[in-house]
Amino acid sequence: MTTVRLNMKCHLKPLPLWITLLATMLAVGHAGAQSGTSNAPPKVSLVWPSYVHILTGEPLLRLRADVTPGGHPVAFVQFFAETNLIATVTNPPYAAMWWLAPPRWAYSWPFALTAAAVDTAGLRAESCPVHLFWNGNPPLLPVVEVTSPQADAIFAAPAAFLFGAELLASAGDAGPVEFFVGTNSVGTVTQADTNFTVATPPYSATVTNLPAGTYQLEVRYYGKSGIGLTYGSRTIRVTNLGIQSPGLTSDGRVQFGVVTSFPGESTVIESSPDLATWSPIATNVPPGNAFTFVDPSPATNAARFYRAVIPSQ
């Protein structure tokens, strides 16, 4: 089977509007002329590493790729350091381990790391490259990524959520990892296999009954050395009533999420043109701790402010 290679263009700057519009018109016209099975290639991106990294020591890295099939199922995903094949993965999740060990002169630093996806029709797509550097000063500091909750997330009081993290690079060991809300430890996770492998599962701790306030979340990685290294710092807010995730609907209406500690209570959404005069525009009695509000009036260029009010409180 002949493999057709399709390179993804990685633009550092957005294209001019007239070029974008022209490309859209051409794509629509081309799509209208097609019939039968789609020959669209898959789409692939490096999930980690996903940006420039400076590496130390002899790190063991967890490579991860996100793949969306095109017109045919994905056959396999490959990871490359420049043109050197690192690993081939045939099943999701598309992840592989890579020990960046000597001889380092096999690579010219910095070098590009890429992922490529090939489907069953032979169509191939490449990710944008991620450039890696090495400074030669061990020991390696492990890379631990907080996976949940999202940064600046808002929760209804008393908050309950899963505090999760994933190990992405280390000197070969896999924790343990301790979770902190502020200065309070909420749990330590020790993996059954203390060696870092592609099968090393995520770490998590359950947080419950967190009262209203703003909190700093951190994870502390100990490893075999027992030395605590802090990573993944992010801030969340626990509130009795809050607004989050503002945006526009497809038809140009303002929408946002409302988080409340008072399910079953009337929650009034008010708007104002000047933050002085407020008018009610909707009332919701949420069955749970959150609901989505969509303004019944389309958005305009005039200023409009919003707030949520619970009259009974």
Q: Return the higher-pLDDT residue of 24 and 127.
A: 127
Q: Point out the least confidently predicted range of 105-114, 187-196, 248-257, 265-274.
A: 105-114
Q: Do residues 127 and 44 make contact, with C-beta atoms less than 8 angstroms apart?
A: yes
What pairs with residue 88 in β-bridges? 78
Q: Point out the least confidently predicted range of 21-25, 158-162, 284-288.
A: 21-25
148-169 b/e (C-beta count within 10 Å ≥ 16 → b): ebeeebbbbbebebebbbbbbb
Residue 1 has pLDDT above 90, yes or no: no
Residue 11 has pLDDT above 90, yes or no: no
In angstroms, rounded to a whole number, what is the distance separating the alpha carbons of residues 125 and 44?
Answer: 7
Which band of pLDDT confidence, cut at 50, 70 and 90, is reported for residue 15?
very low
Nearest CA to 166 among 232, 229, 98? 232
Q: What is the pLDDT of residue 54?
A: 61
Which band of pLDDT confidence, cut at 50, 70 and 90, is reported for residue 206?
very high
Residue 32 has pLDDT above 50, yes or no: no
Q: What is the pLDDT of residue 173?
A: 87
Which band of pLDDT confidence, cut at 50, 70 and 90, is reported for residue 303?
confident
User: DSSP label at 264?
Assistant: T
Cis peptide before 139 (omega within 30 of 0): yes
Residue pLDDT, tens place only, 99-152: 876 545 444 567 789 999 999 999 999 999 988 776 655 555 678 888 899 999
Q: What is the pLDDT of residue 169?
A: 84
User: E strands of 56-109, at which residues?
Assistant: 60-68, 74-81, 84-89, 94-99
272-287 b/e (C-beta count within 10 Å ≥ 16 → b): eeeeeebeeeeebebe
Q: Point out the least confidently predicted range of 12-26, 34-48, 88-102.
A: 12-26
Q: Which domains does the chain have, with CATH numbers?
A: 36-134 (2.60.40.10), 143-239 (2.60.40.10), 242-309 (2.60.40)
Residue pLDDT, tens place only, 160-191: 999 999 988 887 888 899 999 999 999 999 99
Residue 283 has pLDDT above 80, yes or no: yes
Q: What is the pLDDT of residue 58?
A: 67
